[in-house]
Structure 1
Amino acid sequence: MNRRQVLAATGAFGLVSLSGCLGLAGLDDHESTAGGVDADTRESTDYQQVGVDDITIEESVGVGPVEESVRVVNYLTEHEKTVDMGPLGEQRGAVFMVLTTPRIGIPNYQFNPVEDMSTHELVELVEDNYDEMDDIEHQEDYSMTILDQETTASRFTASAQFEGEDVDVYLHVSEAVETDDDLLVTIGVYPQEVANQEEDNVDELMENVVKEADESEGNGDEDDGDDDSDNEADSDEGDGDEDDEESDDGLV
């Protein structure tokens, strides 16, 4: 599954269609701050931060005779955990993601629709954009405190593809909460077989989200480029295999 493609749609839904309004309002360049999870919580739940990726939406629009360029930068911080997936063995099959998207608006009007989206609307965006996740069904809603704000989280069942095999998963999505300048949404996915452990872990991860991701942890694809430049002597040996391993992004 291509989680970046899906979360790009979730984090920027509606912004492109409103880009003309953004340009007219002078709101043509916004960037969020990457959110994360408290280090102690990551350690206690065995989730590892594996990447912080920017999801940039750029759109050129005509405003009369003048063309405006609108740029919105969202961030997706990814965490993974190795779990027992039965016949598939030990795999990085549990995923927790923190999506941040800028709050964009003028007094009494917000342009970013993520602010008012319910968990049902957010998960519909996920379902519409995942080629390999379907049969999503709502199970329950529950209250959750994220960044000291009471919000709603929901649990869904779904069918996902993992290494060509169908895997029944649980999908947790929280409604957006506010940081200083951004909106923050959390998403957790794990195999139903490990629900006894991972359901509590996802709740704990949600409750211990922080406004800024730990920059000392894994940095996804950006690290690959740095490694190539620092290790030219090793570039002829095994790089292809290592890249293949890094591209295995887990369930989502």
Structure 2
Amino acid sequence: MTMLTRRAMLGGVAAGLTATAGCVGVLTGDEPLEFTAEPASVGESALESTGYELVTEESPSVNEEFTVAGQTREVSVTNHLRAYEKDVDFGPLGSIRAAMFAVFTTPQIEFAGRTVNPVGEMSNRELLRQLASRYDGMSVGESMSSTEVQTLGKTVTVDRYEATTTVQNQDVPIYLLLARFQHAGDFIVTVGGYPRRLTDEESNQYTLIESVQH
């Protein structure tokens, strides 16, 4: 079981990019428009101190064709995802990989003085709900608190949300932590999840955010 599966995160953000691709249609020309983000990851020392391990590295691309003034253009957007997981004690259910952290990068996609990317347009709650809608058994509640942390030379806000997920047919209350900020021409989104009763896990999540490399 994972709190927010890799496919859920990829599907949610990629779907949003696809839905917004038509907004770039004011550009004209013959060559495909290509936008590529730089990958982000968590430093090895932070992974060792928190017990998380890398489980996937993916670079999903979104391609969309559109026609403007009789001209057909193709937009290709390449994103990057790094996902990490950790086994935690789940009482009678034993040790389960029930804590996760993911860092996602997607290009800002600028034209005509505007940045066009749904990751930049949506609120944090909207983004989390879109991601959760692609994972059976997960629901996102209200924002509980916000904390500021330092990462990549800037102060970013981390929002904590109540949520529930299903573990072996049981509803389990969890927290989801989300940070979204800009760095070096990309949007960076970090999403973490862990059972609410594991109060010590929150500090581990902050450590992972602080150690993001891009």
- Indicate whether the TM-score tops 0.5: yes
Which residue in 2 is equivalent to 1:33?
A: 38
Contact preservation (8 Å) 1:133, 1:161: yes
Q: Any idea what SS the aligned residue of 1:132 has?
A: coil
Cα separation, 2, equivalents of 1:194 and 1:58: 40
Contact preservation (8 Å) 2:120, 2:187: yes
Q: Any idea what SS the aligned residue of 1:194 has?
A: coil
Report how many aligned residue pairs link the two structures: 209
Compare the two structures and name the one with the higher strand fraction: 2
1:92-111 correspondence to structure 2 within 5 Å: 92-106=97-111, 108-111=113-116
How far has the Cα of 1:135 moved from its partner? 4.8
**1:7 pairs with one of 4, 9, 27:** 9
Identity value in percent: 32
How far has the Cα of 1:13 moved from its partner? 5.8
Query: 91-100 or 132-141: which moved more?
Result: 132-141
Contact preservation (8 Å) 2:140, 2:161: no
The answer as to 2:206 corresponding to 1:203 is yes
The answer as to 2:193 corresponding to 1:189 is yes
Contact preservation (8 Å) 1:9, 1:125: no
Cα separation, 1, equivalents of 2:186 and 2:194: 27
Contact preservation (8 Å) 2:6, 2:83: no
Contact preservation (8 Å) 2:162, 2:175: yes
Higher Cα Rg: structure 1 or 2? 1
1:24-63 correspondence to structure 2 within 5 Å: 24-25=26-27, 28-63=33-68
Gaps of 5+ in 2: none
Gaps of 5+ in 1: 212-252
How far has the Cα of 1:10 moved from its partner? 4.4
Cα separation, 2, equivalents of 1:38 and 1:198: 18
The answer as to 2:169 corresponding to 1:167 is no
Which residue in 2 is equivalent to 1:134?
A: 139
How far has the Cα of 1:137 moved from its partner? 2.7
How far has the Cα of 1:14 moved from its partner? 4.5
**2:91 pairs with one of 86, 90, 111:** 86
How far has the Cα of 1:94 moved from its partner? 0.6
Cα separation, 1, equivalents of 2:23 and 2:120: 18
